[in-house]
Amino acid sequence: MKNQPDLSVVILCYCAGDSARLFVDNTVRSFKESGINDYELILVGNFLDESDITPKVVAEIASKNNNIKYVAQKKQGMMGWDMKSGLALAEGNYIAVIDGDGQMPIDDLIRVYQKIKAELLDLVKTYRVERGDSVWRKVISFFYNLFFHILFPGLKARDINSKPKIFSSQALKKLDLRSDDWFIDAEIMIQARRYKLKIGELPTVFLGLSGRRSFVKIKAIFEFAKNLVIYRIKELVK
C-alpha cells in the first residue's frame, strides 16, 4: 500500500456480516470503472456480541487486498466511537465516511470525492431528496434538522446526518471530535460551522433498509436533543 493514498474511505460495517463483502466488491468495482486507483478502504468491524462474524469477515477481506485495512475491537461506544476508530487509521489527502449497510449509493463516494477536489472545498456531504425510510423516521429527521438550524443558524447545509461525508485531511485535523454516540454527524457540522469550513453538498436518494431494523432507537432521539442544547451552550461560552 502507498504511504499516503489520495483517498481514504472509512466504511462502517457494524453487524454487517457477510454483506460487507458485497459492499466492498461494489465499491472496488465502482472505483475501477471511474478511474480511481489511489485509494484505501478502512473497514470498521467493531463488535458488541462475540458471536458477530463481522470482525472475521472484514479481516478476511483485508487479507486479500492491499488497498484495504480494518479495525475490529470490542465496542466502547456507538457509531461515533466506530467512526473515530476508522478515521484514526485514515492516511489519505481526502477522507470519506459512509455506512456499509447499502442505504447510501456507492456512487455518492465518487461524486463527493470529485466535487471536493474540483471546487477546493473543505467538506462535502450529501442531502437526501428521497428516502426509503418509514414515515416515522422522516418526521424525526425533519424536526431534528429544524431544531439544529434554530440552535446553529447560518450553516448552509441540509440534512445534517446524511453521508457520505468527505473532508480534506487539513480540515479533518481541525476537528476535535468527542462524540462516541449517534451525535457525531451533528458534531462534525457544528465544528464545521465554528471553523467556517467551505462546505459543498450533493443531492442523493436514500434507500430503505433490508434485512434489519435501524440501530437508532428512541433513546438516541432524546440524546440528540440533549446534545444539541449542550453544544449550543458550549458554543456560546467559547
Residue 11: what are its φ and ψ, rounded to 5°? Answer: -110, 120
Average pLDDT of the chain, as a whole number: 91
* Most confident among 166-175, 203-212, 225-234 (mean pLDDT): 166-175
pLDDT of residue 11: 98
Query: Please, what's the b/e burial string for 198-210 (b: 16 or more CB within 10 A of its CB; e: otherwise)?
Result: ebbbbebebbebe
pLDDT of residue 217: 58
Q: Amino acid letter at 97?
A: V
Q: What is the pLDDT of residues 123-170, one digit of tens each?
A: 999 999 987 767 877 888 888 899 999 999 999 899 999 999 999 999
Residue 190, SS3 per DSSP: helix
Residue 112: what are its φ and ψ, rounded to 5°? Answer: -70, -35
**Domains within the chain, CATH numbers bracketed:** 7-237 (3.90.550.10)
DSSP collapsed to 3 states, 14-46: CCCCCHHHHHHHHHHHHHHHCCCCCEEEEEECC
pLDDT score of 106 more than 90: yes
Supply the DSSP string of 55-73, one letter for each residue. Answer: HHHHHHHHHT-TTEEEE--
CA-angle at 74, arms to 168 and 93, nearest 5° = 10
Give the CA distances from residue 113 to residues 51, 124, 131, 186, 200, in Å, rounded to whole numbers and listed in that order: 36, 8, 22, 21, 11
Contact 130, 206 (CB under 8 A): yes
Half-sphere exposure of 103 (CA within 13 A, CB side): 23
